[in-house]
Each structure stands twice: as structure tokens, then as C-alpha cells.
């Protein structure tokens, strides 16, 4: 989650927007619904509290020193994510046959450029595998800075956004474990430079691999591990049909214990879904809300509700699976269409000294 942007006209327009989401549930007619449902159930049960907690504990440890863009700590986090994508069996979607997609950064030698991490899961339907659903999460945070009253200067970013990154890794592993892949292809994109102005996600959208030309949706995960057990926000849910799909998945899976709340305000401008919306790709942001530890050294692993995080990750799995499987293609609602001209690129570039 980046700092509050100062785009007053857009914030007002979003605040005035109706909260009514277009609830367009999609019917699916799988040829072997029972066995497919059983496989999905097995895969989703593999997303456990222990697994997401382990990812958060690694990424938000003091040793990672807050994963600032650019830097060696960010690079160490990228290597962890790439290893997880490789272990899941994803296809490398970065440069030079690897998982990393480095991007230019002023004052940094080419070999040390920061990177996005891209893992690809090709779809099973020859006609629809050219259509890509992106699941995104930023893995960078703000690094080491001003100490708090306890003398802690490491901004661990456990919720922001080791939590969403952990969910991304588990959704990727679970989707890749399905015996029959969804019809559409899914790109798992861990971006960096979010805190500096959505730099990594903007770079991915502008420079994505040729195979991933046709983006049809982005599901962005940012801050998924805090607040009351049943609270989850569907940020931007009235802007596209993705809001209705997500709400329908939560309803279809009451065992998740998540009661989605609509949110159509300036929060939509504060994470990487904006980079996709600017490119006219329908995008939804899953988020469990802010808290006083945001962008403070106290955003620590011990405050993460990993059991809730595992349930949020399961919802993200069901959402990605539905979007990648449903015949209907996500679309902006009329309200979203009205907002699109207001989504403008952020003037931010990577710099070693920023
Ligand atoms: Zn943040």
C-alpha cells in the first residue's frame, strides 16, 4: 500500500460513486463437475495457515530489512519468490528464461536492477489460453528508517505486503497443482517498487512478455492479514464485474468465514491494481483493511492473523479459478467506464537515492 495520492477530483468522483455492484454470477458447465470440484477442494485445502505463516515469517524477518526498492534485501526476497514459483512448476515469465523481470533504476548498475518476479500457468483451452488473468502482489516495502519509540528501525512490512505475497505464492502453488488447469492462462506477478509509486506493476504492464499480450483481469492482493476475522474489502467492486464474481465466491464458500465489504474510494488508487486499470484491464483489489502499524516498524509478523490470511488466500484462489474458468470475460461496469479517464499514470521512476 502506497501513500495517499493527492488526486482530489478523482477521490471526489470515487467517493460519490454508487456502491452497488453488478452481481453477475456466471454459470459453469464442466464436463465432469464432481471430479473437478473434488480436485479444486484438494488444492484449496493445501493452502494452510502454516504455509502462509512461513512465507510471512521469512519475508518480514529483520534479516530482510524491509525489502526496499532497490537493494540486496529486495533481491533476496525476489530469489525466495522465484524459488517458490519454480517449485510450484510454473513457467518462467521473466527475462532470459528466468523468473525475474529487472527494470531500470537510476544510480544502480544493470546487474543490480530491481525486478518483478513472474510465473506463468498456461491455460488448458487452446482457444482461450491466449487470455491471461493476472494475480499480483507487491513484495517490496519501505526498508530501514526512522526508529520508533522502541528503537526499532526496521520497517518489516509483514502485512504490507508480506501477507499478500504469501497469499500469491500459495494461490500459485494450489492452481498449478490442479490436475486440469483452468481454461485461461494465469500469470502470477510479484511486483516491486510499489511503495515508490507502483513502478514495478507499471513496468510489467508496459513490458510484459509477448506471450502475455492479452490481459483480461487483475486480482491484486495487498495487506490481507489483519483486523477482524471476517473482514475483507473488495476494493473497486462496483467498477467491474470482478466485484460480483468475488462476492459470489465468498457466498459459495461460507466455510471461509469472510464477509466481503464493498469499497469504492481512493483506496483503489493506492496499490498495483491501478496500473492495470490505467491500461483498461478490469482489476479488483482484495484487502483486509488498514491499521495503526501501517508503514511503521511495528508492522511485524507477530501481529499477522495467519489463519485469516490462509482464508483470504483461499478466496483469492477461488476468485482466480473462477475468472480463469468462466466463459464470461470480466468487463468494466458503466460506473467503471466513467472512472477510467480519471485513472492516470503516476510519474514515478526508480532511483537508488529515492
Ligand atoms: Zn505500503
How many helices (H) and strands (E) are present in the chain, helices listed first?
10, 9
The pLDDT assigned to 19 comes to: 31
**Cα of 253 from ligand 1 centre, angstroms:** 30
pLDDT of residue 24: 33
Neighbours of 109 (CB within 10 A): 8
Q: Which residues contact 229 (CB under 8 A, 6 or more apart)?
A: 257, 305, 307, 308
Give me the pLDDT at residue 23, please. Answer: 30
DSSP assignment letter at 163: I
**Average pLDDT of adjacent 10-residue blocks, the chain of 354 residues:** 69 46 41 87 97 98 98 98 98 97 97 98 97 98 96 97 98 97 98 97 97 97 98 98 98 98 94 98 98 97 98 98 97 97 93 81
Round to the nearest angstrom and report the end-to-end CA distance of the chain.
Answer: 17
Give residue 299 CA to ligand 1 midpoint distance, Å: 10
- pTM equals 0.93
Centre of ligand 1 to C-alpha 177, Å, is 31
Domain-by-domain residue ranges, the chain?
Answer: 52-342
CATH class of the domain whose range is 52-342: alpha beta
Tell me the residues surrounding ligand 1 (ion) with CB < 5 Å. Answer: 1, 160, 195
Ligand 1 center–CA 295 separation, angstroms = 6
Predicted confidence at residue 32, as pLDDT, reads 79
CA of 160 to the centre of ligand 1 (A): 5
Amino acid at each position: 500500500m502506497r501513500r495517499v495520492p493527492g488526486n482530489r477530483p478523482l477521490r471526489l468522483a470515487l467517493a460519490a460513486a454508487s456502491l452497488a455492484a453488478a452481481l453477475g454470477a456466471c454459470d459453469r458447465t464442466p464436463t465432469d463437475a464432481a471430479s473437478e470440484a473434488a480436485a479444486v477442494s484438494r488444492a484449496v485445502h493445501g493452502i494452510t495457515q502454516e504455509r502462509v505463516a512461513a512465507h510471512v515469517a521469512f519475508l518480514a524477518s529483520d534479516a530482510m530489512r524491509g525489502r526496499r526498492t532497490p537493494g540486496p534485501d529486495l533481491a533476496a526476497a525476489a530469489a525466495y519468490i522465484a524459488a517458490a514459483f519454480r517449485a510450484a512448476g510454473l513457467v518462467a515469465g521473466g527475462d532470459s528464461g528466468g523468473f525475474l523481470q529487472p527494470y531500470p533504476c537510476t544510480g544502480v548498475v544493470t546487474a543490480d536492477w530491481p525486478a518483478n518476479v513472474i510465473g506463468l500457468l498456461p491455460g488448458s483451452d487452446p482457444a482461450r489460453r491466449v487470455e491471461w488473468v493476472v494475480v499480483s502482489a507487491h513484495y517490496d516495502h519501505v526498508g530501514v528508517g526512522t526508529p520508533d519509540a522502541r528503537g526499532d528501525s526496521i520497517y518489516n512490512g509483514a502485512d504490507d505486503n508480506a501477507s499478500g505475497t504469501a497469499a500469491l505464492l500459495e494461490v500459485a502453488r494450489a492452481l498449478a497443482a490442479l490436475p486440469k488447469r483452468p481454461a485461461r492462462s494465469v500469470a502470477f506477478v510479484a511486483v516491486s517498487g510499489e511503495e515508490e509509486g507502483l513502478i514495478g506493476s507499471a513496468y510489467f504492464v508496459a513490458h510484459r512478455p509477448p506471450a502475455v499480450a492479452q490481459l483480461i483481469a487483475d486480482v491484486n492482493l495487498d495487506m490481507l492479514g489483519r483486523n477482524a476475522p471476517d473482514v475483507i474489502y473488495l476494493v473497486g467492486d462496483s467498477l467491474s464485474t470482478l466485484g460480483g464474481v468475488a462476492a459470489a465466491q465468498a457466498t459459495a464458500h461460507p466455510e471461509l468465514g469472510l464477509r466481503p465489504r464493498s469499497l469504492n474510494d481512493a483506496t483503489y488508487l493506492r496499490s498495483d491494481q491501478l496500473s492495470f486499470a490505467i491500461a483498461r484491464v478490469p482489476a479488483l483489489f482484495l484487502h483486509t483493511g488498514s491499521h495503526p502499524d501501517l508503514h511503521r516498524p511495528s508492522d511485524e509478523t507477530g501481529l499477522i492473523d495467519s489463519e485469516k490470511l490462509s482464508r483470504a488466500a483461499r478466496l483469492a484462489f477461488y476468485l482466480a479459478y473462477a475468472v480463469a474458468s468462466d466463459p464470461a470475460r470480466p468487463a468494466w461496469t458503466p460506473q467503471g467506464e466513467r472512472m477510467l479517464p480519471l485513472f492516470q499514470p503516476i510519474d514515478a521512476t526508480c532511483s537508488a537515492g529515492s
